[in-house]
Amino acid sequence: MALSENDVRGIADYARIALEGDELAQMTAYMNDAVDILAPILKYADEDVAPTFHPIGDLVNVMRDDAVDAERALPLNAALDNAGSSRGRMFRVPSILGDGGDN
């Protein structure tokens, strides 16, 4: 299945890449070459085989439950005493989104 320039233009817009004139034609040819290189893989496609989404199969969650380690836990007061700024039980940090105001 060959990609048209319109397909490539849509992909470029989605990826926020500006392609003009010759660039669009070159990228269309390049992407069609890439698709052609991968085409032999399709001969291994078997409709009776379910797709593999994870190499270990039915693995659901290998993380342990969150639990407080009483021996290693830093008391809240000790943590907040060393903070540059705090409010209640929370650390205050400079805003990284927008101007942040006084919050």
Q: Where are the domains of the chain?
A: 5-44
CB 58 within 8 A of CB 64: no
37-91: per-residue pLDDT in tens?
988 887 887 788 777 776 776 777 778 888 888 889 988 888 899 888 999 999 9
Longest dimension (CA), the chain: 65
The residue with tokens 């078997």 is 46
SS (H, E, C) the chain: CCCCHHHHHHHHHHCCCCCCHHHHHHHHHHHHHHHHHHHHHHHHCCCCCCCCCCCCCCCCCCCCCCCCCCCCCCCHHHHHHCCCCEECCEECCCCCCCCCCCC
Region 12-27: mean pLDDT is: 93
Q: In terms of Cα–Cα distance, which of 34, 33, 29, 23 is closest to 4?
A: 29
Asked if pLDDT for residue 103 goes beyond 80, the answer is: no
Work out the average pLDDT over 21-28.
93
pLDDT of residue 101: 60
Mean pLDDT of the region 11-19: 94
